[in-house]
């Protein structure tokens, strides 16, 4: 309906406009076509969107914000009334969704209709359509992991529930991590198509004077599913929790509430790490993010490789980029030393002398390698495509993602030395 139809038509025309741009970036016909289409649009108001249900409103917001991203990249000269109309329409769409006024990962990936004639994109390039669908596949698999973890942490016997679901978790993570690895291949994701084709359409909005990030572009950082998966696994550090709260502004209110509820559940003991504590005793207040965990990266890499949760090219990709995977990223904050846990360590080591406990604890170590394997693949893929360029989410890019390699869901396994003792069993469990 008016005035939304012309916006949707323009959004559907963005790929053809992009093709004009790609054929001749300096062609006046491209910019004049874009300017003419923008000038024919009516301003979208909150009243226009009030009658839509959430699913319909998401599609309208996706179209309007795609147009906004397209305009921001090409920056055509617009008369003040057209600029104001675009700005007000973007504000109305964002207000209806309760989120920041910029295209977001939830809209671009999670709520994008994936049909051959309905999927929304900036460029229409096969690489962009593949990018959207591959990320959606990963998100859908994380939904499966999340459902399993939710059942485990609420079970009467979480450890037994974890053991029962473990093979499914391992197989699902294997699919997730291998699909992420597939992004690195030039056949699936040509670098020029990514860096010069569609990625510039969703770069962050920067302050022109200071260069500071004003609005973050969509990135995997905004994935709510992975945030909740890691939270219910047991990740807990101020940096991660701060980013989880921060990305909430790019989600609808219900999703923000879901992210907050996951953190509250973890803090109340509804997390996989609590089941581990039931096996080897309660841990002292150990950090989940720490530079010293770099020494354990070779061991985790070993387990993840044995389980098929990471690919053999990751170390080479990092080395070719001049990045040491086990080196605390430059510019990352200094953190205090890990507190001593000698007294508790003795009890934990004694607990795994029982074969059934030993097998159970090895599963937690193997699960840690699955999470680690995903981080590895994510870092390696970022290195392969953007190198040392900033991320669209307003971070330093690959270096920021590298910090995730120093996070542990179960830090007690590392500070006690149990991980090294359980290496054979963990390698076997990861391969299930």
pLDDT at residue 1, as a whole number: 63
pLDDT at residue 41, as a whole number: 94
Residue from 104, 55, 360, 111 nearest 220 by CA: 104
* Alpha-carbon torsion (268, 272, 277, 278), positive or negative: positive
> What number is the average pLDDT over the span 141-169?
97
pLDDT at residue 379, as a whole number: 87
For the chain, percent of residues with pLDDT exceeding 90: 73
For the chain, percent of residues with pLDDT exceeding 70: 97
Residue from 291, 432, 421 nearest 349 by CA: 421
> What number is the average pLDDT over the span 182-197?
90
pLDDT at residue 127, as a whole number: 95
Residue from 418, 310, 402 nearest 364 by CA: 418
Q: Is 275 helix (H, G, I), strand (E, B) or coil?
A: helix
* Alpha-carbon torsion (178, 179, 182, 184), positive or negative: negative
Question: Maximum distance among all alpha carbons in the chain?
Answer: 76
Which of the two residues, 244 and 337, has the higher pLDDT score? Answer: 244
What is the Cβ-side half-sphere exposure of residue 67, based on CA atoms within 13 angstroms?
A: 28
pLDDT band at 111 (very low <50, low <70, confident <90, very high): very high
pLDDT band at 394 (very low <50, low <70, confident <90, very high): low
Measure the CA–CA gap between 364 and 410, rounded to whole angstroms: 8
Over 70: is that where the pLDDT of 85 sits? yes
Question: Which range is least confidently modeled, 164-173, 195-204, 250-259, 282-291?
Answer: 282-291
Over 80: is that where the pLDDT of 429 sits? yes
Measure the CA–CA gap between 260 and 254, rounded to whole angstroms: 10
pLDDT band at 397 (very low <50, low <70, confident <90, very high): low
pLDDT at residue 337, as a whole number: 84
| pTM, entire model | 0.93
CA distances from 154 to 157, 164, 262, 274, 275 (A): 8, 14, 13, 11, 10
Measure the CA–CA gap between 327 and 294, rounded to whole angstroms: 6
Residue from 366, 123, 265, 25 nearest 131 by CA: 123
pLDDT at residue 332, as a whole number: 85
pLDDT at residue 168, as a whole number: 97
Measure the CA–CA gap between 361 and 178, rounded to whole angstroms: 25
pLDDT at residue 92, as a whole number: 97
Average pLDDT, the chain: 91
Residue from 283, 281, 300 nearest 369 by CA: 300
> What number is the average pLDDT over the span 242-269?
94
pLDDT at residue 51, as a whole number: 87
Measure the CA–CA gap between 265 and 338, rounded to whole angstroms: 25
Measure the CA–CA gap between 347 and 333, rounded to whole angstroms: 32
């Amino acid at each position: 309906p008016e005035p939304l139809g012309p916006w949707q038509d323009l959004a559907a025309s963005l790929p053809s406009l992009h093709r004009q741009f790609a054929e001749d970036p300096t062609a006046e016909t491209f910019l004049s076509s874009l300017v003419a289409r923008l000038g024919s649009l009516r301003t979208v108001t909150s009243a226009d969107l009030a009658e839509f249900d959430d699913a319909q409103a998401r599609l309208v917001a996706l179209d309007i914000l795609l147009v906004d991203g397209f305009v921001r990249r090409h920056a055509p000269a617009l008369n003040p009334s057209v600029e104001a109309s675009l700005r007000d329409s973007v504000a109305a769409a964002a207000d209806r969704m309760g989120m920041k006024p910029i295209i977001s990962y939830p809209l671009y990936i999670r709520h994008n209709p994936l049909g051959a004639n309905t999927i929304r994109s900036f460029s229409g390039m096969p690489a962009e359509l593949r990018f959207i669908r591959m990320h959606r596949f990963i998100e859908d698999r994380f939904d499966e992991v999340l459902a399993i973890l939710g059942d485990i942490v609420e079970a009467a016997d979480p450890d037994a529930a974890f053991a029962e679901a473990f093979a499914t978790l391992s197989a699902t993570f294997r699919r997730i991590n291998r699909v992420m690895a597939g992004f690195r291949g030039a056949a699936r994701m040509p670098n020029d198509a990514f860096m010069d084709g569609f990625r510039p359409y969703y770069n962050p909005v920067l302050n022109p004077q200071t260069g500071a990030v004003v609005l973050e572009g969509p990135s995997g950082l905004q994935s709510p599913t992975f945030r909740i998966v890691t939270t219910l696994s047991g990740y807990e550090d101020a940096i991660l929790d701060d980013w989880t709260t921060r990305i909430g502004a790019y989600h609808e209110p219900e999703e923000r509430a879901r992210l907050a509820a996951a953190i509250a559940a973890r803090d109340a003991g509804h997390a996989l790490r609590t089941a581990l504590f039931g096996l080897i005793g309660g841990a002292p207040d150990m950090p989940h993010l720490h530079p010293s965990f770099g020494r354990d990266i070779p061991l985790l890499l070993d387990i993840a490789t044995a389980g098929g949760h990471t690919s053999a090219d990751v170390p080479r990709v990092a080395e070719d980029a001049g990045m040491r995977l086990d080196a605390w990223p430059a510019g990352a904050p200094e953190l205090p030393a890990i507190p001593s846990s000698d007294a508790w360590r003795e009890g934990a080591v004694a607990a795994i002398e029982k074969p059934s406990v030993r097998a159970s604890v090895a599963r937690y170590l193997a699960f840690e390698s699955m999470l680690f394997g995903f981080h590895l693949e994510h870092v390696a893929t970022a290195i392969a495509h953007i190198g040392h360029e900033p991320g669209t989410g307003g971070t330093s890019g690959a270096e920021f993602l590298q910090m995730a390699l120093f996070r542990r869901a179960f830090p007690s396994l590392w500070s006690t030395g149990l991980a090294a003792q359980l290496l054979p069993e963990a390698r076997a469990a990861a391969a299930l």
